């Protein structure tokens, strides 16, 4: 009896997904709950299992295709069941699977497992490199990032570029995380009349505190950066100026002020920028924030973030200073109202207490939705952030 498996509604308002990687082939016999396919949806990789036993008659989409919720992914014939695997823990490493069809035995070739960490897979996808065609040079034949980039260069040497009116061009499909980012940025630009203001924070005293406390943090296995302190300063500003912790319900014509504080943190990955959400950030101390940032950032880089960890932020912070930029005009993480950009921290000569001194300066850029927040309120918000970074005692006095 033929059965169909359709792209399910996995929640979070997801309407479509990209086929990232098939884990079975047509003709293969599969067991219920065996992994069928990896899909990419709203910045997260999700593995979908088989809903029942059966033989895969047809895969209805190719890797890289965009499919809608409810669209057929796989057709099954449940009259054939897979024989038990002699090595259940290595089901993807099997060269063949033997299935019974009527009175005959069919031997179906299965794809060999590709040994590559998620970051390498992401890089291969970015460069349109087929991992199945690469011989890994890492331990146990594992494919490395260098293997992927070497394969991409070799393919580029052989590729024929299509010309436009002026010369050769390369056409790269807009897929994966880059496609999600492009859609989200366009949505933000269409909805939000944003304005950006810039200011500098003198964090010389904060540096003294951080330098002292980071040794204590290191003893607990936590890397203490400036970011947890910026989050704390931002929380104080959000309490004082709640319209920056809000969204605009355009249909109802209401400003929806959030009474909780989930801080989004933008992190660079090989696929592009991802934003994870630190939930209830106001209930966590400096070390707890530092630990969670480190954990979620690593999950983002290895594409192991869950959908719930990518959702629910009320205000976002992005740190482009780590790559050497000082000021920017960050795009608001729609439907939020504001985003704070952190620039490159550097020593500068400034006037301090009437004297020219070398002080440690953190550039800040605040972009805000001018429909909800006026420039005066945005400036006051940024001043609260700066005051708390200048005087870390204010952060310590407020505790959690």
Looking at residue 384, which CATH number applies to its domain? 3.30.559.10
Token readout for 247 is: 């969204």
Instruction: For residue range 236-273, list pLDDT tens digits in order.
Output: 999 999 999 999 999 999 999 999 999 999 998 877 88
Return the structure tokens found at 395: 């952060």
Whole-number CA gyration radius for the chain: 25
Assess whether 218 and 74 both reside in one domain: no
User: What residues does 98 pair with on adjacent strands?
Assistant: 107
| Residue from 60, 184, 191, 370 carrying the catalytic annotation | 370
Q: Is 102 exposed, middle or buried (0-12, 13-18, 19+ CB in 10 A)?
A: exposed
Q: Which pLDDT score is estimated for 399?
A: 64
pLDDT for position 79: 65
pTM for the model: 0.71
Same domain, 207 and 253: yes
Q: Compute φ and ψ for 11, nearest 5 degrees.
A: 85, -175
**Statement to judge: residues 217 and 281 lie in one domain:** yes
**179 part of a folded domain:** no
pLDDT at 42: 66
Residue 141: CATH number of its domain: 4.10.320.10
- pLDDT attached to residue 358: 97
Select from 172, 200, 215 the last residue of a domain: 172
**At 102, which CATH number?**
2.40.50.100
What is the per-residue burial (b if ≥16 Cβ within 10 Å, else e) of 358-370? ebbbbbbbbbbbe
Query: What is the number of structural domains in the chain?
Result: 3
Judgement on whether residues 89 and 44 belong to the same structural domain of the protein: yes
Same domain, residue pair 236 and 163: no
Residues 6+ away with beta carbon under 8 Å from 14:
41, 42, 69, 307
Domain with 140, as residue range(s), is: 118-172
Q: Are residues 14 and 98 in the same domain?
A: yes
CA dihedral in degrees (219, 317, 393, 223; nearest 10)? Answer: 10
List average pLDDT for each run of 10 residues in the chain, which is 400 residues long: 85 79 91 89 79 90 89 82 45 36 37 68 78 82 84 68 83 79 87 96 96 92 96 98 97 96 93 92 96 95 87 96 94 96 97 95 98 97 98 81
Residues 244 and 212 both lie in one domain:
yes
The span from the CA of 138 to the CA of 120, in Å, is 12
Between CA 185 and CA 190, with CA 186 as vertex, the angle to 5 degrees is 120
Report yes or no on 327 lying in a domain.
yes
What's the pLDDT score for residue 201? 98
Given this model, what pLDDT does residue 297 score? Answer: 94
Residue pair 196/365 in contact by the 8 Å Cβ criterion: yes
Do 107 and 96 contact (CB within 8 A), yes or no? yes
Does residue 368 have a cis bond before it (omega within 30 degrees)?
no
In this structure, the number of other CB atoms found within 10 A of the CB of residue 28 comes to 24
Domain stop point among 62, 92, 109: 109
Picking from 107, 53, 58, 52, the residue whose alpha carbon sits closest to that of residue 82 is 53
Residues 149 and 8 in one domain: no
List the one residue out of 170, 169, 164 whose CA is nearest residue 152. Answer: 170
In a domain, 178, yes or no: no
Tell me whether residue 191 is one of the annotated catalytic residues: no
Q: Assess whether 264 and 211 both reside in one domain.
A: yes
228 domain-assigned: yes
Between CA 61 and CA 41 the distance in angstroms is: 15
Kindly state whether residues 260 and 365 are assigned to the same domain. Answer: yes
Query: Would strands 66-68 and 96-101 be described as parallel, antiparallel, or unpaired?
Result: unpaired
In a domain, 177, yes or no: no
Q: Which residues pair with 210 in a beta bridge?
A: none
Q: Are residues 57 and 160 in the same domain?
A: no
In a domain, residue 122? The reply is: yes
| Integer Cα distance of 144 and 115 in angstroms | 9
Claim to verify: residue 394 and residue 274 sit in the same structural domain:
yes
């Amino acid at each position: 009896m033929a059965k169909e498996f359709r792209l399910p509604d996995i929640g979070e308002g997801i309407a479509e997904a990209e086929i990232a990687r098939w884990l079975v082939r047509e003709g293969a016999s599969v067991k219920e709950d065996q992994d069928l396919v990896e899909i990419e949806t709203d910045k997260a990789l999700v593995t979908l299992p088989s809903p029942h036993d059966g033989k895969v008659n047809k895969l209805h989409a190719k890797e890289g295709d965009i499919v809608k919720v409810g669209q057929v992914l796989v057709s099954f014939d449940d009259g054939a069941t897979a024989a038990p695997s002699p090595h259940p823990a290595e089901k993807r490493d099997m060269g063949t699977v033997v299935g019974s069809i009527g009175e005959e035995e069919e031997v179906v070739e299965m794809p060999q497992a590709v040994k590559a960490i998620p970051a390498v897979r992401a890089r291969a996808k970015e460069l349109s490199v087929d991992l199945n065609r690469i011989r890994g040079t890492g331990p146990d034949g594992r494919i490395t990032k260098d293997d992927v980039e070497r394969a991409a260069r070799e393919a580029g040497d052989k590729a024929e570029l299509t010309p436009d009116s002026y010369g050769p061009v390369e056409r790269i499909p807009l897929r994966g995380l880059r496609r999600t980012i492009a859609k989200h940025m366009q949505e933000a630009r269409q909805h939000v009349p944003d304005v950006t203001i810039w200011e500098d924070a003198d964090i010389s005293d904060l540096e003294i505190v951080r330098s002292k406390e980071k040794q204590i943090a290191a003893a607990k296995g936590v890397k203490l950066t400036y970011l947890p302190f910026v989050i704390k300063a931002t929380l104080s500003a959000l309490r004082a100026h709640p319209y920056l912790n809000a969204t605009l319900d355009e249909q109802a014509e209401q400003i929806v002020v959030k009474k909780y504080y989930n801080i989004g943190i933008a992190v660079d990955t090989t696929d592009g920028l991802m934003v994870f959400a630190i939930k209830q950030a106001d209930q966590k101390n400096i070390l707890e924030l530092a630990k969670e940032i480190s954990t979620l950032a690593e999950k983002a880089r290895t594409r192991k973030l869950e959908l719930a960890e990518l959702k629910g932020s009320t205000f976002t912070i992005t740190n482009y200073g780590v790559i050497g930029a000082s000021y920017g005009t960050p795009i608001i993480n729609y439907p939020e109202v504001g985003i704070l950009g952190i620039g490159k921290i550097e020593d500068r000569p400034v006037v301090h207490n009437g004297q020219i001194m070398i002080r440690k300066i953190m550039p800040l850029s605040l972009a805000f939705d001018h429909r909800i927040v006026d420039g005066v309120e945005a400036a006051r918000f940024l001043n609260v952030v700066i005051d708390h970074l200048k005087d870390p005692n204010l952060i310590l006095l407020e505790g959690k």
